[in-house]
Structure 1
Amino acid sequence: MNKTMIGSLLCFCSLLASCIQKEQNMSGNALIEKYAIRTDGKTLTTRNLQQAIDDCAGKGGGVVSLPPGQYLTGTLVLKKNVTLHLEKGATLLGSRNIADYPASGRRKALLFAEKASNISITGQGEINGNGDAFNKGNDAPDRPTLILLLDCNQVNVKEVKLTNSGFWTFRFVRCDGVDIRKIYIEGHANWNNDGLDIESRNVTISDCVIDTDDDAICFKSEDPAYVVENITVKNCNLSSNCNYIKFGTASAGGFRNIRISDCILHKCSKSLFRFWEKKLPGVTNPITGIAGIALEVVDGGFMEDITVSNLTMTDVQTPVFVRLGKRKTSDRSYLKNILIKNITATSVSHIASSITGVPGLPVENVEIRHVDFQLKGGGKAADTQVNVPEAETAYPENRMFGTMLPAYGFYIRHAANIRLTDMKLSTVGEKEERHAIVAEDVDGLTIARSTLQLPAGDLCRISLDSCRNVNVASSPDSEPLIFPGNVMGTRIY
């Protein structure tokens, strides 16, 4: 054998050894015994677990697989090329001592990674944060997130159960390439128990079940220089005592090219903090969500190219809430090119859906089509005279304008190029005397092929004030939406 062949063979053997070395599978009793990991759920075993993860990463990566048992731990840092696998019956149990989460501020987390690539969390086990052990109250300090990933690439999370976080459940910030499938989230242990907080790019979320007190899925944009984009959410079952699907409230950067489809939205399994039936006039249901779809830009950022389709929502106060505001100002702030289609909803409050900008900053190019909303009746004609505040700098929420808007279906103000087609708006329960749609300061409004329930009493279906370029067509049954004399407001051009 010549030297060239021997050299090639040695290189091949070296490469093979290197590849084998990178496939470290550490699991079962051997893993537990080697690292003296405790499985009783009572003895802190953070250092032991972390050593297993570190050793796996140091050998090129692989799988650290935890067998059934309870593993009491503080912060664990995930590493490059390592999969943390929780077998069925395995539970990572968060320490109830905040000292076991050494990071400062909102970097505290049970599972943490920063600038790591190719990391995974898999298996049919559970990650339980013991969140009721920490400070209570909205935005209360010094609480750990369950999972926090910063600036990571190629993240895979599959099948695990995430429960009882002390703060947000699963937050990933400036990550690129995130795939989340078939996970279950339950968050009712503390305030601010969001399900997924997304501030990343190139993300796929599918077939997940989320049951949380705070927002089920929340897109955030805290970095003015970062755009949250190229995201798909599909086939998920979402429930929340706040917003089912929310963009904002942090909206300093931007949101672009996001698709949400084929999801079921409904009330939570429980409500331990909200009690909306005691806070909001007209709400009698003990468990209800705030908004089904909330699209909010109020911190100087932007939003564009968002599609939400094929959703069924029940137990919601307001089906659609779109808000462009000026809590923080910026010359580049805008909200435009939104498509919402194929939505059915049943509401439990008098707070209508709304699309609102502020003077000089209109929401632009929003199309809503093929929707069927059954809305709670009970509004009176006098409610159409309510003074709707601008609330330019207020925190965005469906009730920011009050709990009774002048329309039962849609309230639209400071907007341009709004198209409402193939809609059915009707009310249930008490008779409804408000308009179906109220539009103020809208340039370009189309309402076509829609069936709008006629208000009881003398008011018209549609009220317009300071609107331009309005096109209102007949409903499918040829019944005019606007009869001569029953359009209120200024001239229609």
Structure 2
Amino acid sequence: MNLKDFAFYLLFMMLVASGAVFAQNTPSAVPFPFPEMKAPVFRKEKFDIRKYRAKEGGITLNSEAIRKAIVACNAAGGGSVIVPKGIWLTGAVHLKSNVNLHLEEGAELRFSQKFADYLPVVLIQRGGFFCYNYSPFVYAKDCENIAVTGKGTLNGQGQVWWPWKSKQPGMTQLFQMGKAGVPIEQRVFGTEKAGVRPPFIQFLECKNILLEDITVVDGPSWNVHPVFSENIIIWKIKIRAHGPNNDGIDPDGCKNVLIEDCDIDVGDDNICLKSGRDEEAWKIGRPCENVVVRRCSTKAGHGGFVIGSEMSAGVKNVLVEDCHFAGTDRGLRFKSRVGRGGVVENVWARNITMTKIKGEAIVFDLTYDSEPIEKNMNYGKGSAPLANAPVFRNFNIKNMECDGAKTAISLRGLPGNYLHHITFDNIKINSKNGVFCSNSQFIDFRNMAIKHQNGEAFQIENSSSIQY
């Protein structure tokens, strides 16, 4: 543990001890119907990858040995595929139903830096659109009862993929294809020239998923990205990745998701809920719903807890509580833009602490326009000014403290009834700037303690029914 990590850990544990974090000894009631989440159970049989001729040391490629172990485990009715202590070089790992990929303490799955080791192409979701591309490093499709567990490490070695961020014509082409409704079968990439990076971990159309205890390091793009999957438990994982678009955990169009006790330090959004992009997501219609996030900590990145901007099929029934965000660009971040459509509603955030936030402690932004590809496409040019505008409504943010932010709270809606019915209660923020609210309706500020240095505590523009 380096000095930076130790200092953050010490601060976080002091907050825990003081009661600033984990304000309740037992989880409080979830304010919407939420199932009792149970981790998948696996047979006791173990399939050690060494028995399938895997060789430790980080030199021999073990993709085939791991594949054989997974196939054997699945054929036997399930169990655990064991990755022992040591460094094991591999390409793409494709899980099957009833298989727990278990990394023993001291084990490292080190993923190859040769792009060909992630071919042939498979169906993935990338940036909100579906296509055929390089395989995610850990991938499953149409599986049930799957897990990646243990105190070992998944090392993506994503540095060789990161430069593609500045030369990714395939991503522009994918966005254009998605907007035009080109059949998914014709959206085929998987070349260096196209430059479409795969996610690190992606489970597509899967059920009963467990990620527990593992450390995830340096994925090529988004790190943990379940898509259209149900009954997902993510417990006590660590993520360390500071490349471009290195989101931490991004449930996308998923249902019944429990994320607890995770430690995330990434270069983009830490935990971000999504549900696809634009017309394709409207047609498919898979919202992200029934999500509970508890006792997670973040150290950097663009946002601590985020929704959007790809949220076109909707996001609903979300609880975030007892979390701590330190040094992120923003704390709670809710973002979208004209053209996305969709509704985000019924979101609760409570018992949140933050320190040293670089931008806004809390931000709602329906004018989000920070994606270079969309800018280059003249996104939305020629459309009506508010065509397919998103709606964010029914948010309740309670018991939040932030020690240090550039801006306390910012609400940037759109003309009309698109950002409304937001309640803030018992909010304490030390910041340079106070609260800014534009194009918003029915915003209720209760028990606010905003210690700001510049201007007015509340600046209200083009808004109605604002109580403070």
TM-score by length of 2: 0.75
Q: Match of 2:296, as an amino acid?
A: C
Corresponding residue for 1:291? 330
Greater C-alpha Rg: 1
Select 1:25's aligned residue among 38, 45, 64.
Answer: 45
Sequence identity (%): 29
Over residues 332-361 of structure 1, what are the superposed CA-to-partner deviations in whole Å (9 max), with x where a residue is unaligned? Answer: 832110011111113343x45211211124
1:445 maps to 2:463: no
Give the gaps of 5 or more residues in structure 2: 1-41, 127-132, 169-194, 369-378, 381-385
Query: Which of the residues 344, 363, 366 maps onto 1:321?
Result: 363
Letter in 1 for 2:291: I
Query: Any conservation in 2 of the 1:87–1:123 contact (CA below 8 Å)?
Result: yes
8 Å contact kept, 1:78–1:119: yes
Find the residue that maps to 1:226 and give its secondary structure.
coil
**CA RMSD, aligned part only?**
1.9
| CA shift for structure 1 position 194 | 0.7
SS of residue in 2 equivalent to 1:99 = helix
Deviation at 1:63, TM superposition (A): 1.0
Q: Secondary structure at the match of 1:245?
A: strand
**Cα distance, 1:87 vs structure 2:** 0.4
Residues 12-411 of structure 1 mapped to structure 2, 5 A cutoff? 23=43, 25-28=45-48, 31-32=49-50, 34-102=51-119, 103=121, 106=126, 107=133, 108-136=135-163, 138=165, 140=168, 141-188=195-242, 190-199=243-252, 200-222=254-276, 223-224=281-282, 225-267=285-327, 289-298=328-337, 299-316=340-357, 317-325=359-367, 333-349=390-406, 351-376=407-432, 408-411=433-436
Task: State the distance in 1 between where 2:401 and 2:113 align.
Answer: 42
Cα distance in 2 for residues equivalent to 1:158 and 1:220? 22
**What's the secondary structure of 2:219's corresponding residue?**
coil
Matches of 2:216 and 2:311, distance apart in 1? 26
Q: Which SS does the other structure have where 1:221 is aligned?
A: coil
Instruction: Give the equivalent residue in structure 2 for 1:491.
Output: none
Distance 2:305 2:387 in 1: 25
Which of 430, 435, 449 is equivalent to 2:456? 435
Aligned mates of 1:320, 1:332 — CA distance in 2: 21
Q: 1:374 and 1:253 mapped to 2: Cα distance?
A: 36
3-state SS of paired residue (1:173): coil
Code of the aligned partner of 1:124: K
Q: Deviations over 1:334-391 (max 9, x none)?
A: 2110011111113343x45211211124311000010110002xxxxxxxxxxxxxxx
Pair 1:305–1:368, CA change in 2 (3 A): same
Instruction: Report the alpha carbon displacement of residue 265 of structure 1 after superposing the two structures with TM.
Output: 0.6
Tell me the number of residue pairs that the alignment of Structure 1 and Structure 2 aligns. 365
In structure 1, distance between residues paired with 2:405 and 2:136: 36
User: Higher strand fraction: Structure 1 or Structure 2?
Assistant: 1
Q: What does the per-residue CA deviation read over 1:75-106, in whole Å, with 9 as the maximum and x for residues that have no partner?
A: 11000011110000111111001111112674
Displacement of 1:137 in angstroms is 5.7
The CA deviation at 1:236 is: 0.7
Structure having greater relative contact order (Cα 8 Å, sep ≥ 6)? 2
What is the letter of the counterpart of residue 437 of structure 1? F
Query: Aligned equivalents of 1:255 and 1:232: distance in 2?
Result: 13
CA distance in structure 2 between the partners assigned to 1:374 and 1:53 by the alignment: 52
SS in 1 for 2:71: helix
Distance 1:425 1:47, change over 3 A: same
Q: Would the aligned equivalents of 2:389 and 2:418 in 1 still touch at CA under 8 Å?
A: no
5+ residue gaps in structure 1? 1-21, 268-288, 377-407, 448-493
Distance verdict in 2 for CA 1:36–1:201, change over 3 Å? same
Give the secondary-structure state (helix, strand or coil) at the position aligned to 2:200.
strand
Counterpart residue identity of residue 416, structure 1: Q
Q: Return the letter of the residue paired with 1:300.
A: G
In terms of mean alpha carbon deviation, does 98-107 or 127-136 score higher?
A: 98-107
Distance 1:144 1:324 in 2: 28
